[in-house]
Chain A
Amino acid sequence: MPAAISVHPSRGQQVWRRFKSRVMAAVMLTCALAVMAPLFLVLYNLVHEGATSLDWHFFTQLPKPTGEVGGGMANAIVGTLVLLAMAAVIGVPFGVMGGVYLAEYGSDRVNDWLRFAADVLNGIPSIVWGMVVWALLVVPLKTFSAYAGGVALGLMMIPLVMRTTEEVLVLVPQGYREAALALGIARWRTIVVIVVRTALKGIITGILVALARVAGETAPLLFTALGNNFWARSLAAPVSALPLQIYAYALSPYDDWHRQAWAGALVLMALILLTNILVRFLSRERRFA
């Protein structure tokens, strides 16, 4: 039979094509596994290397002098919490109110530019924030400080919180706003008591996500909070933080500090994971009885 140009694939061709399809499916699956693997590896190592070091001493003691074995990261843990609190004081009001403006007021054109600007800010490397706040707060006050660290983290939070707040506010159905306004309730009250309250869970989860993000940031703290092996004298003095301590210990030549770096990393990771779990929990759909 002359082999004319056949529109129908031969048996052999079909088998090959189907085989190729199966192979590609397997390749995709392998890639997906490869992408997930690092998380498990990192978590495994964190627990394996760090869990045994998590004792009472670790959470309550200060670092020991260079080279000595023992000690803990109490100041770093407290420092992280203090910095996060300060970051929230800056990031939450500006972020939420800014999100309110984007969602409830403003014209389309202006808001598009504002959103664009927020996205640009979100893409700025965190080390640049460190340099900026260094020039802004550390140089004039002639000291590294917790304030500077908190401000650096807080400024990073503002565009994050603004975008997430706007997203949830926009989801609130217009009907609620209209109903409230039709009752003669003032516009600002409508926004605060009806719209924001309806979207409150979403706003809070957005804030938590932003906090979890900045909790792990080291670069902005390198030249603002600087780090401290003792308790900070005041908020206007250098302060320790978990990421800073982990970084310093990891680069050091001491095995004991390496061990503690793993432990500190485990604590930091646990903090972040717990926050993410909390966010997931809050984001569940509630059903009415």
Chain B
Amino acid sequence: MTEATRSLPADPPAAAPLTARSAPASRPAGDMEVAFDIQGFSLWYGALQALFDVTIQIPAQQVTAIIGPSGCGKSTFLRALNRMHELTPGTRIAGTLRLFGDDLYSSAIDPTQVRRRVGMVFQKSNPFPTMSIAENVLAGLRLNGVRDRGFLRERLEAALRMAALWDEVKDVLGRPGVSLSGGQQQRLCIARALAVEPETLLMDEPCSALDPIATAKIEELIRDLRTRYTVVIVTHNMQQAARLSDRTAFFYLGKLVEYDETRTIFMKPANPQTEAYVSGRFG
């Protein structure tokens, strides 16, 4: 199977385990397929080391939260999952990072291919200013050469529905993307990311710029996305992590300090540093 077909589920169900992964399915408890398998991963910005030997397995179709004080490396770690750190010149990595068994950093893979499989939503919503709502959602598809208008139309609706935005914008799809409210813009960005059918979705503090009502809507959205996607969310809001995630990883000074089920991290963390952070004694 070539890398290209990985990015979209193949049509005939017999072809690939891909289909099974993306179809809504209820996972029996304890059956943890690993999405990201990360071993001994370190990252340097020039001479400065930002991540130290991180080893972690992120399960598929669950929400994993990354928490920690500012500067602990959580955003750096997140961006390493879709090779976005490579936009800064002078970065280098060591260790391995696999997504469903594929080494994302192998020389055979183009970072662009990685990013089609791993979607990202940013802290500050950034719908493309020169595009309408519809054009924004379809940007990832159109700019990769998809021309079939029927297919695009269906994808547009599906992505907007998944982002809980369809009903609000279905009559005004031609309006500029930036004419929406802050919360709507962020959902638009989520729809845009989902439209290319990634296997996983990374979210970097997606609600930090939003009001509580918009935040609640997006949190509900994230909970529902879990049935289809693997979601990794960085957040500085611990209550949010506790509400949303199945597993939580606590980072401090570039190291993974503790990683466990969310209940455990927040109720009876094993590490004293974790305990100090979640009880608010620092951070």
Contact = CB atoms under 8 A, between A and B. Distances in A.
Would you list the 4 A-B pairs with minimal beta carbon distance, nearest first? A184-B116, A183-B140, A182-B120, A175-B126
Interface string B97-137: 00000000000000011111101101010101110000000
A78 interface: no
Given A182-B82, A185-B143, A189-B143, A176 B115 contact: no
Interface string A91-130: 0000000000000000100000000000000000000000
B139 interface: yes
A214 B90 CA distance: 42
B128 A185 contact: no
B178 interface: yes
Contact of A186 (B84, B112, B114, B119): B112
A239 B113 CA distance: 54
Contacts of A184: 7, 112-117, 140, 144, 196
A176, A177, A200 — most chain B CB neighbours (10 Å): A176
A178 B82 CA distance: 11
Interface of A: 107, 173, 175-187, 189, 193-194, 197-198, 200, 288-289
Interface string B56-89: 0000000000000000000000000010100101
B176 interface: yes
Contacts, number: 72
Interface string B24-57: 0000000000000000000000000000000000
Nearest to A190: B143
B129 A183 contact: no
Interface in B156-191: 176, 178-179, 189
A182 B84 contact: yes
Contacts of A177: 87
Contacts of B247: none
A107 B90 CA distance: 11
Contacts of B189: 179
